[in-house]
Amino acid sequence: MTSVLSLPALHASHAGIWLVGPDGAREAGRGEAIRAVSDTPHILLNAPLAGQRLGYAEVSGLDLLELFAFIHPARFVVPTVPGLASFVGLEAPADEAAAAALLPAIAGRLLATLGEEDWAAREGGWTINATLHRLGWGWAGLVGQRLRRPERGERMLFTRLEPWEEAAERPPARIIRLGDGEAEARLAQLTGAGSETREGQRAFAAASAHAFAPRDRRDAPNVLLAEAGTGIGKTLGYLAPASLWAEKAGGTVWVSTYTKALQRQLDAEGRRIVPDEEQRKKRIVVRKGRENYLCLLNLEDAMQGSFSGRAAVLAQLVGRWAAYSKDGDMVGGDLPGWLPSLFRRAGATALTDRRGECVYAGCPHYRKCFIEKAERASRGADLVIANHALVMVSAARGRLGSGLERIVFDEGHHLFDAADSTFAVALTGAETIELRRWIIGPERSSRGRRRGLAARLMDVCSYDEEGALALDAAVQAAGLLPGDGWLGRVVEGLPLGPLEALFAAVRSSVLARARAEDAGYGLETELAEPDAPLVEAATAALVALEALQRPMTALRLRLEAVLEDAPDWLDAAARARVEGAIAGLNWRGGAVAAWAQLLARVGGAADPDFVDWMNVDRIEGRELDIGLQRRWLDPTRPLAKAVIEPAHGVLVTSATLRGGEEHWDVANARTGAAHLPAAPAHFHAASPFDYASAAEVLVVTDVKQGDLAALANAYARLITAAGGGTLGLFTAIARLKAVQARIADRLAREQLPLLAQHVDPIDTGTLVDMFRADPRASLLGTDALRDGVDVPGESLRLVVMERVPWPRPTVLHAARRLAGGGSAYDDRVVKARLAQAFGRLVRRQGDRGTFVMLSAACPSRLLTAFPPGVAVSRVTLEEAVARVAAATGSVGERGGELSPESLQRID
């Protein structure tokens, strides 16, 4: 048996490169390291990241994370040497050289698991490893030496998964009212005996009961807008009355979030509500959009040969995970976020249903489908943990019937943005070609199993002449939509068909009218004063869309008639397929109708309820898409009408719901409550934290805007002064990358790791996990890190913003700014963003930190975004560095005293 301890290893970081051989770890140059890994497979950690550090993208070897994913499927580990060392029971390394030397030992501990009798993931391991061996997976030989061959053949993945079962429709929820003190009593039960009593949390739980009272009249739900400051404990505050109402009324409460991090937190809190794991699976269900879940048919295709090379290895590891996964959620579930990134662009997205290609009951795995299982489980659940987009789409399309009677919107300050996306209209080349493929099927040059609507309904329509005629007409009309190669033809001035001609006219108008300084990036211009070619192209495209809309509507009506008067041949599988087609026709037919409405206004009067514009989507000068866009001027209007009004009770909560304002007008407007027939109730509980003593705000006055060298110097000195633990927020990816490139190596030499969104080949969720796990690490990022990141304690003690986060000057923003009061609208947006960014700093009692703004141009009126009592000072960079160093205490206690030179300017 090969001794893993004798294998060479490589460790690369911003601090340097180390090779591990028989004589231990030694530092090496890039050239030597590249030659070594090219000649002999080395043990390493995160090959894409190591390749980035080496400047050699094709580096490969024995990746410890791939081995971990095989041995511990559906388990997470922080993908760092200390993270893996902790998992396998080894002491964390003291420095980078020690980290390199530890790699073979970690591999040995992981491989030793294969021989343990209580190894939980034994089933399926031998069979998958045999396949991986044929695919050339580096670890397969070492794994095979340690795996016992099973006495009988192992069950295939698709036979091991439990099928879902049909169940009777849940009866309507009973009409009940929670009694005085009941919500508080349930809260005490959930927090446990001896826990700290938080009066704000108790008051919030009591107030939240309003959303679960019987409503007095139709379309007038009981709505509560609740601003509960950080530290109140609002999650259990609303889960207490929600879970109690669900039990007593026999109904379902939908808890909606904006971030996956909060979904995970809510799922974890479910253990308090339902301690028994099997019962919890039935009573608390996590729901996401279809594109988040593993598609078993796609996986089967991948595992049986449609994937090759590294993508085939990924498919086998995902198949191994699927057998142990809780719910098949590939995005934010129990699939480690770092696993797909190990394979670069090798097919992870192809394993989900991202293009509406599901064949429903026509799929051999339909009865075991993760998506269908979650959907059915949610019908009888007490609590369904979903996201804003899914809740809004489901309500707007009427998918859940009466299932959205009670809704809790956590992270409610994002409702406006979520509604803005949900109710948007985009008539673009990418959207229209997708519709063509959904109806007709893939082009002849396309590979894969995907079938169009015609193929999926051919047998059904063979029994129904009118349906067959409608289907044929829809297929013919869809032929006028853009096909493969449309973008190239449009750019060359050779469009085919009325829709491609429309996009050619749009492109011409945008290039003529857009600002020259935006030439390298996405371009847009108002849909106003269109020229004659654009009006003519829009008219022809409108005729084509109406010709498509008519047969789609006729086909939907025929399919509904078939279901209503079901013939003998319509078995359960065919019925499910027809229902799926009806749902798709409803959804896509609605999109076609919205496109037609948008085109009908070209050349005519603008609709004051909407903002319309044209755009050419591109990155660094490369064109990606072309089209027309429509957004509601106030997207909370359809939100109120389609989602909130039909409900019986709705709770909207957030720590920053009022956006820093004293009154509730902004919250009412941004949540849709202003459009309801009955006024909402309001609740406010201030954060229990003493922000005045826990944090301060520094506005640095001498970092010149636009000077990248000065900006990088400021970040490096502040991070060094804090000893790491810094969250750096940027308003532009280009500046983030420029700063990261200038300071990463220098910080690494001070043993201060630097992580960066949009730079490191790691998903954002994993970057946050890595940042949280190492108090000396710092993380640079953009908008995604400004909100929804929970990093309490020492790991986050400094937040640095490079400039004021003004809204981007788009056509849409200009229209809303005009309608919302001009500069006052901008101020509200910025103050909300500043409040959210500051909210990352103090998450628990005892947290302390500093918030630094590197912009002398920050207006004083915006500084009211910070909590009352927090000291705000305008200082030089020199003074800011000194105050950050003093605020973070003794750097030596965090792993080594920093030299005075390390606090000086870094060019």
Residue 905 has pLDDT above 50, yes or no: no
The H-assigned helical ranges of 225-355 are 234-249, 260-273, 277-283, 296-301, 310-322, 338-341
* Residue range 764-813, pLDDT digits in tens: 889 999 999 999 999 999 987 887 678 888 889 999 999 999 998 899 99
Comparing 683 with 289, which gets the higher pLDDT? 683
Nearest to 462 by CA among 472, 452, 476: 472
* pLDDT for the residue 788: 65
User: What type of residue is 36?
Assistant: A
* pLDDT for the residue 340: 92
- Whole-number Cα distances in Å, 292 to 287, 584, 606, 889: 9, 18, 37, 43
How many other CB atoms sit within 10 Å of the CB of residue 846?
Answer: 11
* pLDDT for the residue 893: 37
Average pLDDT for residues 166-178, to the nearest whole number? 89
Nearest to 658 by CA among 686, 679, 697: 686
* Residue range 42-95, pLDDT digits in tens: 999 999 999 999 988 888 899 999 999 999 999 999 999 999 999 999 999 999
* pLDDT for the residue 346: 55
* pLDDT for the residue 896: 37
What's the CA gap between 586 and 902, in Å, rounded?
A: 62
Comparing 156 with 82, which gets the higher pLDDT? 82
Residue 401 has pLDDT above 70, yes or no: no
With cut-offs at 50, 70 and 90, classify the pLDDT of residue 355: low
User: What type of residue is 54?
Assistant: L
* pLDDT for the residue 451: 65
How many other CB atoms sit within 10 Å of the CB of residue 805?
Answer: 24
Residue 822 has pLDDT above 70, yes or no: yes
With cut-offs at 50, 70 and 90, classify the pLDDT of residue 521: confident
Tell me how many degrees the CA angle 260-262-263 measures, rounded to the nearest 5.
60
* pLDDT for the residue 580: 77
- Beta strand segments in 737-863, E: 754-756, 778-781, 798-801, 849-853
Tell me how many degrees the CA angle 430-434-440 measures, rounded to the nearest 5.
145
685 SS3 class:
strand
* Residue range 362-390, pLDDT digits in tens: 788 988 999 999 988 998 899 999 999 99
* pLDDT for the residue 906: 39
Residue 51 Ramachandran class (φ > 0 left, ψ -120 to 50 alpha, else beta): alpha
Residue 456 has pLDDT above 90, yes or no: no
Spatial strand order of the sheet with 695-700 comes to: 754-756, 778-781, 726-729, 798-801, 849-853, 695-700, 871-875
With cut-offs at 50, 70 and 90, classify the pLDDT of residue 753: very high
Rounded mean pLDDT of the chain?
89
Find out whether 329 and 292 touch, Cβ atoms under 8 Å: yes
Residue environment code for 418-446, b if the CB has 16+ CB neighbours within 10 A, otherwise e: bbbebbebbbbbebbbbbbbbbbbbeeee
Residue 873, token pair as written in the block = 């000072």
* Residue range 478-502, pLDDT digits in tens: 999 999 999 999 999 999 999 999 9
User: What type of residue is 728?
Assistant: G
Of all residues in the chain, the percent with pLDDT exceeding 70 is 94
With cut-offs at 50, 70 and 90, classify the pLDDT of residue 400: low
What letter would DSSP give residue 4?
A: G
Residue 170 has pLDDT above 90, yes or no: no
Residue 305 has pLDDT above 80, yes or no: yes
* pLDDT for the residue 659: 80
Average pLDDT for residues 306-322, to the nearest whole number? 92
- Whole-number Cα distances in Å, 478 to 588, 629, 754, 803, 887: 12, 21, 50, 48, 65
